[in-house]
């Protein structure tokens, strides 16, 4: 209950930045995200996405309108900067690397999927993207945010209490948000993406999707 | 009320025929499901964007194929890729399939083959546009008559 309250109070709606050069696809992804209760900003290129984030000036993840970006979802094949290049720039930035990035592509190419996951992408969605894909991604993102929050709280608790209770594992015991059994992502993205069991797990998820 | 029911029936039948004829596929149904009272014309809006895209890309390809000094097949391929992507996103199955066929001739740098494919693509696009505009007109008639558009569940 405490966890849910804190998540809801601090971020009443997740703000997603969607990047795609196709006007049709931008309209569709915007709709899917809005139905999934997100605030959405759409841009047509990687360069615009970086501008929106203010990456050049490293001012933090505030967009022009001051909204923190909670997730970036980007098309892979775009003229100029590809989604893969955008992903790399974000993950190599000390300010923005914590923002989860999801890649969308019309082509289901294993080497492409692997390189994206290796660079730290959370998920790789095959187009056309469906509502169930978006809901799953948002659920994973919330769960991830929740476990991060719980880690921080457990550390703080230890400072005030000598209680070993805080080091017990389950993060779901105090949560009123239903935990998704299909969300196996560990809470730290930077190590997760490079481990091969996670790759095969994500590839398995993609195979089921097809 | 009877008139509205007739229109709704017509709408449902016409929708089904589009699926049967392969003009649209399941992705179109998925987009329909996203429509609600807040955005009752979402599919129509996406379709408009798609028509714009299609016309622009088909035009660009026609111009590229006409170049006497040599056809830029890389540009053609790029146009096909974009059109395949958006037709897939809206569920325009026959247009998408026409793009897939087109791609193999573009890869082979076969100008004659590409010209035939472009013709086929234009044909599929016209067919889609006519049929969808008929469908959207039915929608508008239902709403004008005070009825609601039958929703997919």
**Residue in chain A lying closest to B35 (CA):** A31
**Residue in chain B lying closest to A21 (CA):** B82
The residue-averaged pLDDT of A130-156 equals 76
**Residue A57 region, left (φ>0) first, then alpha (ψ -120 to 50), else beta?**
alpha
CA atoms within 13 A on the CB side of A127: 28
A31 touches chain B (CB under 8 A): yes
Whether residues B34 and A31 touch (CB distance < 8 A) is answered with: yes
B27 touches chain A (CB under 8 A): yes
CB-based burial, B98-110: b 16+ in 10 Å, e otherwise: bbeebbebbeeee
A20 touches chain B (CB under 8 A): no
Confidence of residue A202 (pLDDT cuts 50, 70, 90): low
For chain A, the structural domain boundaries read 15-144
Confidence of residue A28 (pLDDT cuts 50, 70, 90): very high
Among the ranges given (A81-85, A98-102, A159-163, B122-126), the one the predictor scored with the smallest mean pLDDT:
A159-163
Query: Closest Cα of chain A to B49: distance in Å?
Result: 6
> Is B138's pLDDT higher than 90?
yes
The residue-averaged pLDDT of A5-15 equals 59
Mean pLDDT is highest, among A161-165, B34-38, B63-67, for: B63-67
Of B30, B34, B86, the CB nearest to A25: B86
Of B31, B45, B88, the CB nearest to A127: B88
- The ipTM, to two decimals, is 0.93
> Is A1's pLDDT higher than 80?
no
Instruction: For residue A110, give both structure tokens.
Output: 């294993």
What does the alpha-carbon distance between residue B124 and residue A53 come to, in Å, rounded to a whole number? 41
CATH superfamily for A15-144 is Response regulator (3.40.50.2300)
What does the alpha-carbon distance between residue B63 and residue B118 come to, in Å, rounded to a whole number? 11
Of A22, A28, A77, the CB nearest to B31: A28
DSSP per-residue letters across B105-146:
HHHTT-HHHHHHHHHHHHHHHHHHHHHHHHHHHHHHHHHHTT
Chain centroid to CA B138: 17
Of B42, B45, B86, the CB nearest to A22: B86
A133 touches chain B (CB under 8 A): no
Most B CBs within 10 Å: which of A128, A132, A209, as the mutation test of the B interface?
A: A128
A132 touches chain B (CB under 8 A): no
3-state SS class at A194: coil
Mean pLDDT is highest, among A183-187, A202-206, B69-73, for: B69-73
Query: Closest Cα of chain A to B28: distance in Å?
Result: 11
> Is A178's pLDDT higher than 60?
no
Q: Write out pLDDT tens, residues B98-124.
A: 999 999 999 999 999 999 999 999 999
The residue-averaged pLDDT of A99-124 equals 95
Q: Write out pLDDT tens, residues B11-27.
A: 999 999 999 999 999 99
Confidence of residue B36 (pLDDT cuts 50, 70, 90): confident
The DSSP output letter for A18 is E
The residue-averaged pLDDT of A6-23 equals 77
What's the predicted TM-score (pTM) here?
A: 0.79
Domains recognised in chain B with CATH numbers: 9-33+40-141 (1.20.120.160)
Strand order in the sheet with A39-43: A39-43, A15-19, A71-75, A101-105, A123-126
């Amino acid at each position: 209950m405490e966890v849910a309250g804190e998540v809801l109070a601090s971020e009443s709606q997740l703000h997603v930045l969607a990047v795609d050069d196709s006007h049709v696809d931008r309209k569709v992804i915007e709709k899917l995200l809005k139905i999934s209760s997100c605030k959405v900003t759409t841009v047509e290129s990687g360069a615009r996405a970086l501008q929106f984030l203010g990456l050049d000036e490293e001012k933090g993840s505030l967009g022009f309108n001051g909204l923190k970006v909670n997730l970036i979802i980007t098309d892979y094949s775009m003229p100029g900067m590809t989604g893969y290049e955008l992903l790399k720039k974000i993950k190599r930035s000390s300010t923005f690397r914590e923002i989860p990035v999801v890649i969308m592509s019309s082509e289901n190419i294993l080497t492409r999927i692997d390189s994206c996951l290796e660079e730290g992408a959370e998920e790789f969605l095959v187009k056309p993207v469906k509502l169930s894909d978006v809901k799953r991604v948002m659920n994973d993102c919330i769960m991830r945010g929740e476990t991060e929050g719980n880690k921080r709280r457990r550390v703080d608790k230890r400072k005030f209490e000598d209680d070993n209770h805080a080091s017990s594992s389950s993060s779901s015991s105090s949560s009123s948000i239903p935990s998704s059994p299909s969300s196996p992502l560990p809470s730290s993205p930077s190590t997760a993406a490079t481990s091969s069991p996670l790759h095969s797990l994500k590839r398995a998820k993609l195979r089921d999707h097809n | 009320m009877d008139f509205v029911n007739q229109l709704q029936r017509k709408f449902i039948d016409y929708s089904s025929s589009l699926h049967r004829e392969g003009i649209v596929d399941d992705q179109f149904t998925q987009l329909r499901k996203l429509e609600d009272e807040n955005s009752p014309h979402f599919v129509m809006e996406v379709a408009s964007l798609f028509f714009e895209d299609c016309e622009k890309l088909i035009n660009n390809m026609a111009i590229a194929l006409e170049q006497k000094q040599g056809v830029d097949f890389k540009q053609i391929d790029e146009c096909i890729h974009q059109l395949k992507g958006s037709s897939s996103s809206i569920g325009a199955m026959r247009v998408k399939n026409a793009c897939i066929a087109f791609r193999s001739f573009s890869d082979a740098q076969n100008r004659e083959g590409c010209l035939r494919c472009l013709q086929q693509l234009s044909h599929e696009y016209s067919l889609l546009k006519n049929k969808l505009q008929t469908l959207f007109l039915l929608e508008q008639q239902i709403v004008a008559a005070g009825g609601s558009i039958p929703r997919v569940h």
